[in-house]
Structure 1
C-alpha cells in the first residue's frame, strides 16, 4: 500500500499512524547549547535521534577562506548526508523533525533534508502528546546518497548584487529588525530593502501553525517570483520558508549567513527603522 508522504507539517496523530518513520529531535536553546540534548536524554518521542544545532545542523563559522560566514552556516553537504545514512535514512522514508520551540530548529532540519534532495520530510506541528522514553534509539546504517537539491540558497556577495531586485524577508523579532536592540550580532539593523515577518507570527496561540488559508492570506503580500529568506543566522528563516511552502507560495531561497554574516562586514550596507 502506498502511503501519503508528508512534506511540510505533520500532526501528532498522523505521526503515530506512520510505519517506521525517521524521527529527529532538534530541540535547542541558544543561551544553553546543551539544554536540548539534556532534555532528549530525559525523555523523547520513542525512536527519535537527537540533532544538535551547532554540531549537526551547522558548519564552522569561519570558512577555509578565513572569512566569517555567520553563526550557523550550512555544514558540508556530504558530512550531513553521512550523518543521516548512519541514522538510517533511505529513499522514500518519511522523516519527521521536531523541537520544543515551536518548530524553529526543526524547520532548519526540514530545509536541510530538502537541500539533500529528500522530499519526504515534515515538521511536527504542535507539542507531542504521546509517550516519551529515555531509551537510546537504535539505527541501521544505509548506503543512501543525496540527490539534486529541492531548495536553493544564496551567498552574501550574490545577494548584495541583487538587492532591490528580489523580495527579502527577515524572520527576526521586530525590535531587532528595526535596529533598536542587537543581543547577538556585530551591528544593529537590517539588510536594506528587507521586509520583516517575525517567524513566531506563523503560529497560533496554541503553538501550532496557523491554518493554511490564514497563512496564505498573511504571506501572500510577501510573495514574489524570487523570495530570499534570512534571519539572524539562517535558522528561523527556515520557519518562514516552511510556512510559505505549507501555504502553497513556493520554496523561496535561503540566505544561510543572514544578519550575523552580513553585519560582520562594515562594507555592506545597513538600514534601520
Structure 2
C-alpha cells in the first residue's frame, strides 16, 4: 500500500488554502507560476544530500508539515513529485496526495488560477 493517494486538479482546487500544497520544483519554475498557496520546497536540494529522504523530511518540518499532516505534492509533470512522496513515505509521512498531472495539467486549463512570485534581479555591476 502506498503512503500517498493520486489526486486530480479538482481535488487540488478544492484544497487550496485548506491543506498545504508543496511545489518541489526549482525556484525559477516556482516563481514563474505555481498553484495558489503552494510553498516551494526544493527536491533538488534534498537529492544532493547524503540522505535525501531525511533531508526532504527536515525541509517539510521546517515549513510546518509533519509526518501526521496531510499535504499535496506536485512538480512540473509528476515524476519528481512521486520521488518526493516516496522519500517522505520512507520517513513516516502517510497522508500525502500526489498531484500526478502537476503543473503541466494545472496550467492546461485557463480557468485555473496561477500565482506568480515577484522576483527581483540585481543588475550586474
Q: Could you say which TM-score interval applies, normalised by the shorter chain?
A: 0.7 to 0.9
Tell me the distance in 1 between the aligned counterparts of 2:53 and 2:41.
17
Match of 2:51 in 1: 209
CA contact (8 A) 1:202 1:243 kept: no
Q: Highest Rg: 1 or 2?
A: 1
CA contact (8 A) 1:166 1:227 kept: yes
Provide structure 2 residue ranges, at least 5 long, that are not aligned to the other structure: 118-125
CA contact (8 A) 1:202 1:215 kept: yes
State the Cα distance separating 1:155 from its structure 2 match: 1.0
Provide structure 1 residue ranges, at least 5 long, that are not aligned to the other structure: 1-116, 118-148, 180-188
Q: Which has the higher contact order (CA 8 A, sep 6+)?
A: 2
Match of 1:174 in 2: 27
Q: Which runs of 4+ in 1 moved over 6 A?
A: none
State the Cα distance separating 1:162 from its structure 2 match: 1.6
Counting matched residue pairs gives 114
TM-score of the two chains, using structure 2 as the length reference: 0.79
RMSD: 2.1
TM-score of the two chains, using structure 1 as the length reference: 0.38
CA contact (8 A) 2:41 2:59 kept: no
Tell me the distance in 1 between the aligned counterparts of 2:46 and 2:95.
16
CA contact (8 A) 2:36 2:114 kept: yes
